[in-house]
Amino acid sequence: MATRLFVGNLPYSVSEDRLRALFSEAGTVQSLSCPTERGTGRPRGFCFVDMANSDEAERATRMFNGYRIDDRTLRVETASERPPRPSGERRRTSGEGRYRY
């Protein structure tokens, strides 16, 4: 069963192909997803990498957590599910304030 990794603190210049090649050194990369900003298409600075199994995911975490790419230190950890939003809660728009307390 695939194990999903969160890869954070990515430089905006890194390509999905480069990340796929890098994580392939630790095992089989089943998929790779790098979200982008809706309006600009600019990378958001993180990716999700699905490794073939938990052993390969652990190997990738050991190999690449703290790894440097273009003067950025990667943060690699097992991804966790996003907690569900309470019903009725919605995203704030720019006019409603930036911070959630």
Residue type, 29: V
List pLDDT tens digits, range 66-83: 999 999 999 999 998 877
Report pTM: 0.79
Q: According to the model, what pLDDT value does residue 89 have?
A: 65
The pLDDT value given to residue 84: 80
Q: Across-strand partners of 29? A: 51
Cα gap 8→73, rounded to integer Å: 9
Separation of alpha carbons 79 and 3, rounded Å: 8
Report how far residue 19's alpha carbon sits from residue 66's, in angstroms, rounded to the nearest whole number.
15
Partner residues linked to 33 by β-bridges:
48
Q: How confident is the model at residue 88, as a pLDDT? A: 66
So what's the pLDDT on residue 1? 82
Q: Which amino acid is at 28?
A: T
The CA-CA-CA angle for residues 59, 84, 96, to 5°, reads 115
Give the angle 40-75-44 at the CA atoms, nearest 5°.
5
In tens digits, what is the pLDDT along the chain, a chain of 101 residues? 889 999 999 999 999 999 999 999 999 999 999 999 999 989 999 999 999 999 999 999 999 999 999 999 999 999 988 778 777 666 655 555 554 44
Give me the count of residues in the chain.
101
